Amino acid sequence: MSNKSQSNDASSASSRAAAYHNNASGVSQPAVQPLQKMDTKNDEGIIQRAITVGNNPLPRTNATPSDIVDDLKKDGLYEKFVTLNDDRTKIYVFSDKAHLINYLKELAGKVPAGTVFTPFIHKLSPEQLQQGHEMAQDMRFLTIYKPGPSQISTNASGAHAIPEKMMPPPGQGHYWGHRQDPSAHGSEYVLYQNQLQPPQPTSPLTFGDPGAPSLVMHQNGLNLGMHIQPTNNGAYIHDVKRSQTRYAGIPSVTNRVRGHPFELDQNQKSTDDPGRNFDNDARTYTDESDSTKTKGGISSWRYNEVEKKAVQSGMPFTQINSNPAMGPMGIVRPDSLHFRLDQGGGSNKDLHLDNTATTDYRNTGGARPKRMGQQAYQTEMGRQSALTHPYQAPPVHHMGQDFTDPQRHSYPGYASPPPSPFLAEETLSSVPEQVILDGYRHQGDRVNFPNGDKGIVVSIVDRDMVRGKSRCMVKRIPATAWPSTFPNV
């Protein structure tokens, strides 16, 4: 399409809009410049688009109200509007609603060329385009997810150093986020939950050494999975003998085993409750198939092939309970178990084991090599099964990364973020400002200002744990909406 050029010597699109607002409707201005071709090739298909009427930015094209679409189509202006609104590299600033409509009429040839004053045009730099795009992705995520009521304990800071590929699942309706924070390790995990369709909350439970703790994820009565880290510090272990354990009051069930998360010599204490430990906390147990039965199973195999080897090597492992459901014991009884064993140097070994007692791990029809023990071969069977049933670690969201939830429009109250150009600094969006907020805040938290403005925490400066305050850098987000009334086109 064609457009008339206009000087861009103002410092920002917002200042242009304020100055231009004095130009009434933008109709019949005396100085009209020749038409010039507009460059729309930069970053094609990446950045969303922008029109603003005065200081009021319009939303994305797909959020245009149906009655306005119908009116624009009826008068042959909709295609021109879409072309303008879908320009991916510029912000078009109109003085008011009539100016926009009259300009669309000129583009459509419905009024003589040169009779409508050209809108101010702010061309975004590649850096602004990328910045706006990343902020739009963050808003899309944060419109759906907010930090959940339970987070990794401040008494277990070492859990934030667990590698992403070793993190246990966050639970249905939840999402892990990895965020910047002002601590010595520089980053933290934040457990987000869907705020538009709130799920049962997930509780991260931590045990053992606070600097390298074990992490158990518990939701709705179920152990979803856990990252188990051995410790050789007796201060974090509660001694208990096999003859002394009461299995946290869990009832026994025929042909099943009440599976501790770790061997009793590693009965780790809770980082938050001195009276709790692996042995007496039912939330850490798993209903396991019995390895002593005809076909073999999980229980003693897990002890010998996973737990003992973890203690010997000092390396952690992650267990994921697949298809977790409540069993007759009143604890989780998964169909199968995934294990990810840390081998050091960034490598890991994945195993997938049946927990229904239907896979025969003992009678292998001569497939087991003569010099390989039965449980060692069960491990090999688990390795082979992991090749055909690979474990996908839970996604971990980072600020600025692309995010799309295919179900987002089905969530009640979901709203698309403002078009990307409006979110770049020095357009209609502000530079981040320092604000002291109540509570333990996280990067990405949404903020409501007293004047009604909305904002996002883009970084944490520091936290005052005694006063319960967080010093944050907050970026205000412009609101987008169609004017309350629209002229009959």
Burial class (CB in 10 A: 0-12, 13-18, 19+), 58: buried
Q: 46-88, pLDDT tens digit by residue? A: 333 456 676 677 878 888 888 889 989 999 999 999 988 888 7
CA distance 189 to 217: 13
CA distance 316 to 235: 19
Nearest CA to 350 among 340, 361, 364, 336?
340
Nearest CA to 178 among 196, 194, 162, 201?
162
Q: Are 82 and 61 in contact (CB under 8 A)?
A: yes
CA distance 179 to 318: 22
**Rounded average pLDDT over 108-135:** 88
- List helix spans (H) across 220-322: 299-302, 308-313
**Whether the predicted pLDDT of 21 surpasses 80:** no
Residue 252's pLDDT is what?
96
HSE-up of 407 (CA within 13 Å, CB side)?
A: 8
Q: Are 49 and 80 in contact (CB under 8 A)?
A: no
CA distance 95 to 92: 10
Q: Are 414 and 143 in contact (CB under 8 A)?
A: yes
**Rounded average pLDDT over 277-294:** 97
Please report which confidence band the pLDDT of residue 414 belongs to, taking 50, 70 and 90 as the band edges: confident
Residue 24's pLDDT is what?
34
CA distance 249 to 434: 51
Could you report how far apart the first and last alpha carbons of the chain are, in Å? 21
Please report which confidence band the pLDDT of residue 20 belongs to, taking 50, 70 and 90 as the band edges: very low
3-class SS string, 109-178? CCCCCCCECCCEEEECCHHHHHHHHHHHHHHHHHHHEEECCCCCCCCCHHHHHCCHHHCCCCCCCEEEEE
Residue 5's pLDDT is what?
34
Residue 423's pLDDT is what?
79
CA distance 112 to 101: 14
Residue 298's pLDDT is what?
97
Nearest CA to 101 among 80, 129, 124, 86?
80
**Rounded average pLDDT over 110-122:** 89
Burial class (CB in 10 A: 0-12, 13-18, 19+), 267: buried
Ranges 200-214, 283-297, 400-414: which has the least confidence: 400-414
